[in-house]
Amino acid sequence: MRTKTAIAIDHIAGTPLCWILNLITRFVGFLLKRNHNPPFQVKKILLVKLMGIGSIVQALPLIDGLSRRYPHCEMRMLCFPETEIFAQRLIPVSAVFTVDRRSLFKLGWTSLREIIAIIRWRPNLVLDLEYHSKFSSLLTTMTCALNRAGFFDVSTRFRDYLYTHLIYANPRRHIEDLYNHLGRVFGVEAFEPLENCSPLVRIDSQDESELGRFLENHSIDSEENLIVINANAGELCLERRWDAQNYATLAAQMAKVGTVLLVGSGSERNYVESLHNMVINDGALKVLNAAGALSFGAYLALLRRAAILITNDSGPMHLAAALGTYVVSLWGPGHPAKHGPRTTKHVQLWENVFCSPCLYITPEPPCRGNNICMKAITVRAVSEAVGKLVPQLSFPIAVETNKLNRVEQAGENLLPGIVLRNHLTPANSSMRKM
């Protein structure tokens, strides 16, 4: 099931179900009159984070804080399969409950199966790390845990009686601050910075051995500078991608000071290969398509081993930052002040285009794919950011791309952020008055 389809189902079916469950919880709460006040006796914690490996990374300070505040508690997570792969790597997390969303039948069956398993496990604290999801709200409530906490804003009134503790999801606060504030409600007093949380992620000797074999098979010396480029972005917003030709130009330049590995998942390999084919054909250049070539564990080992990661706003950006790797990130639809990793080894590039940010704010990007916010970022700017972080990777810029003016028209004679009514354009129709 595609992400946008899942979001539509969540809205259409989830809204009435949440309100029905809201009435039930009000009635049951009136009858039981359970005590939800501190001090909290926390022995079993369930974290609900269905989507977004990057968001789980941002929750590492919270996870670390909870494990130190309640050192004898057992912590588990509830995820979709795409996030389970990382959740299983978290040392404080003893087990993962997984809901399969590949079809409606599997979604319903696995949800029922996992909720029964969770009720039998009997958590006494459930923290929902999703912001707007009705589905996560349903799952959290059906755990029947004594204390259930999550976030609220104007769009989540349906959570009023589903949760015992609600935290305001201040849109001007960084996501890490929101997660940490959730922890403070339950007695966590101190949080480690993200760059100190790498010991929470398990990378074992098998992962390192697999990476070593991959590098050896491609004649890459163990002392070589590994420059990792992630040109991909999740299907929720492909407008987060920087232009492929820009990445190809950058890769050709970076190959002069190290070996460039273009990474991605197996499903992204064809896109990465199209980018790889754009790189200047020079036998002296070492630019490899490594998308789908490594297991997830070996991929983590690569990110930790890399001299630097150059990436769009995506999961690998957060993973590399948490592992202590230097990162240059490119932003457009999203905003680094809200979601960017907080580490001293990170440079974020963002152009102040009028319609940016739009991610999580509009139902679809106003530009409808013509992401001038990303096009405004130049190869020179990225190269200079790399040199600022890792001086041994700096070099003179021989090739440059044209930079768009911040108010340059977004195609169809429109300024950024303007969407014509009924999809009309000046080229094919006169503008109708409201």
Last residue of a domain, one of 182, 200, 218: 200
> Token pair for residue 218?
């491609």
pLDDT of residue 432: 35
Confidence check: pLDDT of 229 > 80 = yes
> Regarding predicted confidence, which is higher, 251 or 39?
251
Of the candidate ranges 52-56, 264-268, 428-432, the one whose mean pLDDT is the lowest: 428-432
How many CB atoms lie under 10 A from the CB of residue 363? 7
Last residue of a domain, one of 162, 179, 200: 200
Cβ(70)–Cβ(45) below 8 Å: yes
Domain encompassing residue 112: 3-200
Per-residue pLDDT reduced to its tens digit, 256-299:
899 999 999 999 999 999 999 998 765 557 899 999 999 999 99
Confidence check: pLDDT of 29 > 90 = no
Confidence check: pLDDT of 161 > 70 = yes
Confidence check: pLDDT of 4 > 80 = no
- The pLDDT confidence band at residue 361, using thresholds 50, 70 and 90, is confident
CB-based contacts of 76: which residues, under 8 Å, 6+ apart? Answer: 44, 45, 46, 47, 93, 94, 95, 96, 97, 121, 123
Model's pTM, two decimal places?
A: 0.89
Confidence check: pLDDT of 1 > 80 = no
Amino acid letter for position 431: M
Same domain, 367 and 279: yes
Same domain, 189 and 210: no
Looking at the domain assignment, is residue 60 inside a domain? Answer: yes
Dist CA 25 CA 330 (whole Å): 44
Last residue of a domain, one of 178, 200, 222: 200
Same domain, 113 and 132: yes
Looking at the domain assignment, is residue 79 inside a domain? Answer: yes
Same domain, 251 and 344: yes
Confidence check: pLDDT of 155 > 60 = yes
Same domain, 278 and 414: yes
Per-residue pLDDT reduced to its tens digit, 312-327:
999 999 999 999 999 9
CA-based R_g, the chain, Å: 23
Same domain, 195 and 211: no
Looking at the domain assignment, is residue 434 inside a domain? Answer: no
Looking at the domain assignment, is residue 286 inside a domain? Answer: yes
Average pLDDT of 325-347? 93
Confidence check: pLDDT of 239 > 60 = yes
Same domain, 160 and 217: no
The torsion angles phi and psi of 227, rounded to 5 degrees, stand at -105, 110
Per-residue pLDDT reduced to its tens digit, 77-126:
999 999 999 999 999 999 999 999 989 999 999 999 999 999 999 999 99
Looking at the domain assignment, is residue 179 inside a domain? Answer: yes
pLDDT of residue 179: 97
The torsion angles phi and psi of 312, rounded to 5 degrees, stand at -75, 175
- The pLDDT confidence band at residue 411, using thresholds 50, 70 and 90, is very low
Same domain, 50 and 85: yes
Same domain, 153 and 263: no
Q: Give me the sheet containing 125-128, strands edge to edge.
A: 93-98, 74-79, 44-48, 125-128, 147-152, 165-168
Confidence check: pLDDT of 3 > 90 = no
Write down the H helix ranges in 33-103: 53-58, 60-69, 81-87
Whichever domain contains 186, its CATH number is: 3.40.50.2000
Number of structural domains the chain divides into: 2
Looking at the domain assignment, is residue 25 inside a domain? Answer: yes
Same domain, 267 and 389: yes
Confidence check: pLDDT of 176 > 50 = yes
Work out the percent of the chain whose per-residue pLDDT is above 70.
Answer: 90
Confidence check: pLDDT of 363 > 50 = yes
pLDDT of residue 412: 46
Same domain, 164 and 242: no
Which among 100, 69, 339 has a CA at the least distance from the CA of 192? Answer: 69
Dist CA 63 CA 200 (whole Å): 9
Same domain, 288 and 165: no
Average pLDDT for the chain = 88
Looking at the domain assignment, is residue 428 inside a domain? Answer: no
Looking at the domain assignment, is residue 161 inside a domain? Answer: yes
Average pLDDT of 235-245? 90
- The pLDDT confidence band at residue 406, using thresholds 50, 70 and 90, is very low
